[in-house]
């Protein structure tokens, strides 16, 4: 059991649940400002309105990310560090792609997305230590 990866993935799930909460609040009240809105450019609520919020099959990225982190927890429970390493690398590339697209097209840096990317990179790093 790879405890540090389980902790990182659990934190990732919590951040994604917060993202889902933000998305619902923004739908109810478009003027809602979340704690992660640092400036007009560094904002998690602005990314909720983006077309890049639902990259795969119209499913919110946060839901997909919860699935990813659940998978990572299961793999870590069975000491599958090599698989976690490669899955985390692929997911980090996808996450970086979405962040870059948001920066280029929407001119916004999603603070929670960036934090989730850091968590995924840390998962890959820890998994590498267990290879």
DSSP code for 102? I
Q: Confirm or reject CATH 3.40.50.11890 for domain 3-129, answering yes or no.
A: no
Alpha carbon distance 7, 72 (integer Å): 10
Determine contact, residues 68/103, Cβ cutoff 8 Å.
no
Q: Where are the beta strands (DSSP E) in 61-101?
A: none
Q: With 80 as the cut, is the pLDDT of residue 55 above it?
A: no
Whether the pLDDT of residue 30 is over 90: the answer is no
- Provide the pLDDT for residue 18: 95
Please tell me the predicted confidence (pLDDT) of residue 5.
98
Ranked by mean pLDDT, the top range of 18-22, 80-84, 95-99 is 80-84
Q: What does the domain layout of the chain look like in residue ranges?
A: 3-129
3-state secondary structure of 57: coil
Write down the pLDDT at residue 58: 80
How far is Cα 85 from Cα 41, in angstroms, rounded to an integer? 32
């Amino acid at each position: 059991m790879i405890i540090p990866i389980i902790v990182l993935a659990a934190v990732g799930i919590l951040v994604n649940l917060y993202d889902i909460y933000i998305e619902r609040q923004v739908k109810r009240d478009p003027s809602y400002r979340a704690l992660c809105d640092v400036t007009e450019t560094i904002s998690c609520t602005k990314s909720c309105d983006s077309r890049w919020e639902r990259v795969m099959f119209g499913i919110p990225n946060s839901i997909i990310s919860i699935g990813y982190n659940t998978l990572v927890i299961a793999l870590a429970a069975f000491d599958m560090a090599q698989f976690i390493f490669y899955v985390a690398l692929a997911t980090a590339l996808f996450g970086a792609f979405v962040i870059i697209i948001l920066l280029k097209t929407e001119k916004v840096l999603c603070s929670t997305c960036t934090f989730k990317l850091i968590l995924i990179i840390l998962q890959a790093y820890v998994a590498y230590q267990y290879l």
